[in-house]
Structure 1
Amino acid sequence: MQLEDQGFLQLIRLAPLFSIDLVVVNNRRELFVGKRVNSPAKDWWFVPGGRVYKDETLKNAFSRITLSELGMEYDISKCQPLGLYEHFYNVSMLCKGTSTHYINMQYLIQVNESETRAPNIQHHAYRWLSLDEVGQDPLMHKNSKLFTPSLFSALNNG
């Protein structure tokens, strides 16, 4: 179930949103990021992802989000969770005067570079960024850097 704008704005004002971020890494140990089109992280490089809707299972949300954000459907059971994080923003998607609070689950998806066919809906440009560059890039949003310790641990132990 997806809310109309007014209902969604009321939800943003009153409660945190739950979302899934897709930490997509290729065989060269590069992270897939896109330049955000919408607030709250507009014009920042950010990992793909999306909100979980009411009455939607995590499995179904993951399939829907991967298909819409990566152009290919992935199975959540074959991807590694990297942890639960919080994202705080001073603005929202619908209103600059309303803050947004996300509770966010990060999932590692290891892919061949050719597997990603991301549409230009939530992002207007894409790139592969070496994992060493993620922490150094000033245009990479701080919320897309939170998971890096868990990512390095997962890649080095997996």
Structure 2
Amino acid sequence: MRLDLNTFKLVVESTPLISIDLIVTNSEGQVLLGERTNRPAQGYWFVPGGRILKNEIFEEAFKRLTIVELGVELELADASFLGVYEHHYADSFLGDDLSTHYVVLAYRLVLDVDNLDLPSEQHDSYRLWGIEELLDSKVVHQNTKDYFC
């Protein structure tokens, strides 16, 4: 269930959001990142992912997010759980005046990235990064780097 804008703003102001991040690697261990077009973390390279919706069964949220973020439907059983992370941002999708707090469930997927039909709704472009390269980069968001430290 998607909330109307005013209700969702109140939720963002009042509580953490729960999300799933998809740490996608290819068979060589390179990591798929997208350059974010929206807030928070706009302009940074970040792993695909998104929020779990109210009343959405976890497995269904995972499937939906793989379709929306990767262009392919995958099952939770296709992934391995990496852990729980927290992401704090000074801004939100509404602008600079509202911070965002996420509790993130991170999952790793090994995929043939070259055969994905990656959507452009939330990421301007995509590319594969070596782990050392992304850890050293100033344009990869720290919350993404934390998955590899």
TM-score category of the 2 structures, normalised to the smaller one: over 0.9
Distance 2:80 2:74 in 1: 12
The alignment covers a number of residue pairs equal to 149
Q: Which residue of 2 aligns with 1:132?
A: 132
Aligned mates of 2:82, 2:116 — CA distance in 1: 20
Name the SS of the counterpart of 2:10 in structure 1.
helix
**Deviation digits for residues 19-57 of structure 1, max 9, x if unmatched?**
000000001210000000111110000000000001101
Instruction: State the match for 2:44 in structure 1.
Output: 44
After superposition, what is the alpha-carbon deviation per residue over 1:127-156, rounded to whole angstroms, capped at 9, x for unaligned?
Answer: 00012212111100000111114xxxxxxx
Q: Identity of counterpart residues, as a percentage?
A: 37
Q: Which runs of 4+ in 1 moved over 4 A?
A: none
Question: What residue is the counterpart of 2:59 in the other structure?
Answer: 59
Return the alpha-carbon distance in structure 1 between the equivalents of residues 3 and 20 of structure 2: 18
- State the 1:105 CA deviation: 0.7
Aligned to 2:12: 12
Structure 1 match to 2:97: 97
TM (norm. structure 1) is: 0.91
Contact 1:83 1:147 in 2 (8 A): no
Matched residue type, 1:56: E
Letter matched to residue 131 of structure 1: I
Q: Unpaired segments of 5 or more residues in structure 1?
A: 150-158
